[in-house]
Amino acid sequence: MGATPGRDPGGEIIRPGAAGTPPAFDRVLVANRGEIACRVIRTVRRLGMSVVTVYSEADAGAMHVSLADEAWLIGGAPATESYLRGDAIIDVALRSGAQAVHPGYGFLAENPDFAEACADVGLTFIGPPATAIRAMGDKTAAKALMERAGIPVVPGYHGDAQSLETLREAAIGIGTPLLIKASAGGGGKGMRVVEHLDEFEAALTSARREAAAAFGDDRVLLGRYLERPRHVEIQVFADTHGNVVHLFERDCSIQRRHQKIVEEAPAPGMTPELRRRMGAAAVEAARAVGYVGAGTVEFLLVGDSSFYFMEMNTRLQVEHPVTEFITGLDLVEWQLRVAAGRPLPRRQQELTMRGHAVEVRVYAEQPARGFLPSTGTIEHLRTPEEGPHVRVDTGVRQGDAVTVHYDPLIAKLVVWDDDRPAALRRLRTALAGFEMVGPATNLSMLAAVAAHPAYARADLDTGFVERHKDDLLATPPHAEDALALASLGVLLERRRGAEAAALASEDPWSPWWRNEGWRPNSPPQVVLTLGPKDKPSTILAYPGSGGYRLALPSGTVTAAGELDGSGALTATIGGRRRRVTLVRRGCALTLVDAGLLTELALEDHEAFAVGQEVPGGRLTAPMPGRVLAVMVEAGTAVRRGEPLLTLEAMKMEHTITAPADGTVLNVRFRVDDAVTEGQELIVFESDATGAREARAPAPGAPNAPLAPNAAPAPAAPPIPDAGARTR
């Protein structure tokens, strides 16, 4: 208490804060969803506080809901009816007894009106004051403020006058290449590059239209478009006692559609002198707006030493984990401490870096189609094992749906090691272990970035993806032994199904349960029709005591292995041992090999019909469509082949039938509901997968196999149980 406030070499004021520090919060409301909500919840819980969260109708089963102590429904699926309803969120906070609101990022995180509304009712907004949000939210005003503070900005026009004549005259003075940028927002919306002045008017009209639609504000600013700049940002933190520090830099140059997809810390090639100058500029920017909490000052770095202020994000950034890895700090914990009125835990000279961290963002999107978002059910999800070197932040689980309502971010994969080359090796290995089947993802593109020579030598700038797109978007090669691996997986699945059915029968020792390819007076032989949809192949499999001999179009190989219930296949093909994953959805089969997907189709009409899965789990939609008719309800007992639901898709009707005798546990949709491809329609339990007393028919009994070759429908789940949760 007797300490004297001072100023350290980093420039921030240090004051003691032990005495009279407000207590920590007892209950915090997390006003977000997805991976950031889950990430914040974990820190809040670790610090001994209880968590309240909110959810939309579409997120009733979401991960963040299950992690919180309480979760409140606030509206429909569209964000405008739920996560953007500040009044509803504040009402929940007050009714639940929360004392503070953490907005995460996105939605209301940078909404000054929401921050003020929280303060008006006595809630602590875990973020900067509304004045700082407003000052930095207006890009034109922010750049003018930075100019007055002596922070370098890109030469350009940041004025209030927005007439076509004024802007055209400013553009002539700036010259080309020219950047038009929305004044009220970011994320690449309302941004256009003008190479020639005769293109200016059309580009301006387009940028204004997009800015108005995205932000409700069509004002723009103009600036010189810098050739091959790097995007380098500084993490800053400030408290209510006047202390401001920076937590070093991140390089976020690899982007698509002006949005980051790869971030790393520290920035490659950063000298101590440049780090000091950029850090000091970022601290000064925070001071200029009276900042409190976590923020990021973003710069464009040109050449070796020239940098220009671009914008300040008044929230926690998506890429904050790389800073946490190199500093060993929890930035959400710092946010909570600052919001509770406590001083920053460390001075500038006490902050150090160790090692190198890289983050990649895994999106449900289609890189080859202009990075269009992809939707649907996540049929299979397996992430790399986490530990001191690998971290996975996600808000989804296997079986969840990626919808059109929210950002398609699936996860952030973050790696750390002693230096950049070692971190990149970690990244390549971790990406190979990241498996997702369902909506399309950018995983193969991220793997291509991690393996690209230009990335390895840190030849970075914001045009990296566009310049190397032919390499990054190339179709990855399929496994040369994909047919052999998939065939072995199907054969092992059938064998497991036959064994399960035998155990459930009155005569488990009957040889007919293990009739794999039996033929009179000939060696056993199983015929599979398998391959790409447009090029199926006939594969002959000859069972033996140690596995199979497979006759493939490319030749004959031996195959043996083990398949577990999750679809993990350990296989030895022609003497080469492999570990892959097989995911089956009806007759569609996906081979996942080192993170790369090979899509195959299995013609197996004895066990499947279009759009169905084998007994014991789920019935899914074969394509996007509309529910035309529902013939059953929960609790209905049905026989194999009985119609359950009819879809209308592409002007055709598709009837989903029962794959076996069993019971309908749940019907997910009603008439006129829209469904996406792969979405679960009906939860079904077959008699064969119930209690053992519900025995499968013995050979010779009614509904038993009619011939030795006709094995019963497998009682075990398909490869794998595609997203079904324990019921």
pLDDT tens string 308-319: 999 999 999 999
Establish whether the linkage from the previous residue to 266 is cis, with ω within 30° of 0: yes
Report percent pLDDT > 70 for the chain.
Answer: 86
| φ, ψ at 637 (rounded to 5°) | -90, 130
Cα dihedral sign, 446-361-396-611: negative
- The active-site residue out of 39, 85, 315, 361 is 315
Q: What is the pLDDT of residue 713?
A: 33
Q: Is 371 helix (H, G, I), strand (E, B) or coil?
A: coil
**Distance, CA of 59 to CA of 608 (rounded, Å):** 31
381: β partners: 436
Please check whether residues 268 and 369 belong to one and the same domain. Answer: yes
Residue 395 lies in a domain: yes
The answer to which of 62-71, 284-293, 597-606 has the lowest mean pLDDT is 597-606
pLDDT tens-digit readout, 103-113: 999 999 999 99
Q: What is the pLDDT of residue 515?
A: 66
Q: How far is CA 641 from CA 662, 690, 715, in A?
A: 11, 19, 16
Q: Is 710 helix (H, G, I), strand (E, B) or coil?
A: coil
pLDDT tens-digit readout, 227-253: 899 999 999 999 999 999 999 999 999
Please check whether residues 335 and 466 belong to one and the same domain. Answer: yes
Residue 592 lies in a domain: yes
**Distance, CA of 257 to CA of 371 (rounded, Å):** 8
18: domain CATH number is 3.40.50.20
Which is nearest to 557 in space by CA: 479, 477, 488? Answer: 488
Q: Residue 618 is inside which H or E element, if any? A: strand 618-620
Q: What is the mean pLDDT of residues 463-480?
A: 89
The most confident of 95-104, 545-554, 697-706, by mean pLDDT = 95-104
420 is catalytic: no
pLDDT at 398 over 60: yes
Q: What is the pLDDT of residue 621?
A: 76
Domain end call among 103, 134, 165:
134
**Distance, CA of 114 to CA of 318 (rounded, Å):** 21
DSSP string across 644-705: EEEEEETTEEEEEE-SSSEEEEEE---TT-EE-TT-EEEEEEEGGGS-TTSPBPPTTSTTS-
Please check whether residues 208 and 299 belong to one and the same domain. Answer: no
pLDDT tens-digit readout, 256-309: 988 999 999 999 999 999 999 999 999 999 999 999 999 999 999 998 789 999
Maximal CA-CA distance, the chain: 99
pLDDT at 717 over 90: no
Residue labelled with tokens 């899509």: 599
Mean pLDDT taken over the chain: 86
Please check whether residues 457 and 532 belong to one and the same domain. Answer: no
First to last CA, the chain: 58
322: domain CATH number is 3.30.470.20
Which is nearest to 291 in space by CA: 344, 217, 364, 237? Answer: 237
Confidence of residue 652 (pLDDT cuts 50, 70, 90): low
Residue 268 lies in a domain: yes
| φ, ψ at 332 (rounded to 5°) | -70, -40
Q: What is the mean pLDDT of residues 375-382?
A: 94
Residue labelled with tokens 């789990």: 617
The answer to which of 112-121, 225-234, 365-374, 504-513 has the lowest mean pLDDT is 504-513
Strands (E) across 343-396 are located at: 356-363, 365-366, 372-373, 376-377, 380-382, 390-394
| φ, ψ at 581 (rounded to 5°) | -130, 140
pLDDT at 694 over 70: no
Q: What is the pLDDT of residue 512?
A: 60
pLDDT at 1 over 80: no
Q: What is the pLDDT of residue 511?
A: 62
Q: What is the pLDDT of residue 651?
A: 47
Which is nearest to 162 in space by CA: 142, 147, 184? Answer: 184
The answer to which of 255-269, 378-392, 470-484, 607-621 has the lowest mean pLDDT is 607-621
**Distance, CA of 525 to CA of 541 (rounded, Å):** 6
| φ, ψ at 515 (rounded to 5°) | -105, 30
Query: Between vectors from CA 485 to CA 483 and to CA 490, what angle results, nearest 5°?
Result: 90
Q: What is the pLDDT of residue 230?
A: 96
Which is nearest to 192 in space by CA: 216, 174, 175, 210? Answer: 210
Q: What is the pLDDT of residue 677?
A: 66
Please check whether residues 255 and 277 belong to one and the same domain. Answer: yes
Q: What is the pLDDT of residue 623?
A: 64
| φ, ψ at 697 (rounded to 5°) | -65, 140
**Distance, CA of 294 to CA of 156 (rounded, Å):** 28
Please check whether residues 62 and 116 belong to one and the same domain. Answer: yes
Residue 302 lies in a domain: yes
**Distance, CA of 687 to CA of 693 (rounded, Å):** 10
pLDDT at 255 over 60: yes
Please check whether residues 467 and 486 belong to one and the same domain. Answer: no
Structural domain count, the chain: 4
Q: Please, is 703 exposed, middle or buried when counting C-beta atoms within 10 Å of its C-beta (0-12, 13-18, 19+)?
A: exposed
Which is nearest to 382 in space by CA: 398, 393, 364, 370? Answer: 398
617: domain CATH number is 2.40.50.100
**Distance, CA of 139 to CA of 3 (rounded, Å):** 40
Contact 191, 180 (CB under 8 A): yes
Please check whether residues 212 and 125 belong to one and the same domain. Answer: no
pLDDT at 392 over 70: yes
pTM of this prediction exceeds 0.85: no
Which is nearest to 318 in space by CA: 373, 285, 363? Answer: 363
Tokens of 638: 């049905």
Q: How far is CA 94 from CA 64, 87, 101, in A?
A: 20, 11, 10
116: β partners: none
Q: Which residues contact 180 (CB under 8 A, 6 or more apart)?
A: 190, 191, 192, 193, 194, 203, 204, 207, 220, 221, 222
Please check whether residues 509 and 609 belong to one and the same domain. Answer: yes
Q: Is 130 helix (H, G, I), strand (E, B) or coil?
A: helix
Domain end call among 74, 104, 134:
134
Residue 723 lies in a domain: no
Q: Which residues contact 675 (CB under 8 A, 6 or more apart)?
A: 621, 624, 625, 626, 627, 647, 669, 681
Looking at residue 432, its amino acid is A
Q: What is the pLDDT of residue 675?
A: 83
Please check whether residues 503 and 649 belong to one and the same domain. Answer: yes
Cα dihedral sign, 113-114-119-121: positive
pLDDT at 709 over 70: no
Q: What is the mean pLDDT of residues 536-543?
A: 92
Confidence of residue 572 (pLDDT cuts 50, 70, 90): very high
Q: What is the pLDDT of residue 697?
A: 30
Please check whether residues 126 and 172 belong to one and the same domain. Answer: no
**Distance, CA of 3 to CA of 239 (rounded, Å):** 18
Angle between helices 130-137 and 139-148 (to 10 degrees): 100
Other C-beta atoms within 10 Å of 102: how many?
A: 29
Q: How far is CA 525 from CA 293, 561, 585, in A?
A: 69, 18, 25
Residue 679 lies in a domain: yes
pLDDT at 456 over 80: yes
Which is nearest to 318 in space by CA: 254, 401, 409? Answer: 409
Q: What is the mean pLDDT of residues 474-498?
A: 87
Q: How far is CA 381 from CA 265, 398, 721, in A?
A: 28, 5, 11
**Distance, CA of 448 to CA of 595 (rounded, Å):** 12
**Distance, CA of 211 to CA of 218 (rounded, Å):** 5
Tokens of 2: 């007797």
pLDDT at 592 over 80: yes
Cα dihedral sign, 493-499-503-507: positive
pLDDT at 560 over 70: yes
- C-alpha gyration radius of the chain: 29
Q: List the domain range (segments joined by +) for residue 533.
A: 482-689
165: domain CATH number is 3.30.1490.20
**Distance, CA of 351 to CA of 707 (rounded, Å):** 75
Residue 142 lies in a domain: no
Q: How far is CA 699 from CA 374, 381, 526, 686, 703, in A?
A: 46, 39, 20, 19, 9
Report percent pLDDT > 90 for the chain.
Answer: 65
Domain end call among 224, 244, 264:
224
Please check whether residues 234 and 216 belong to one and the same domain. Answer: no
Q: What is the pLDDT of residue 21?
A: 44
Residue 719 lies in a domain: no
Q: Which residues contact 98 (CB under 8 A, 6 or more apart)?
A: 27, 28, 29, 52, 92, 123
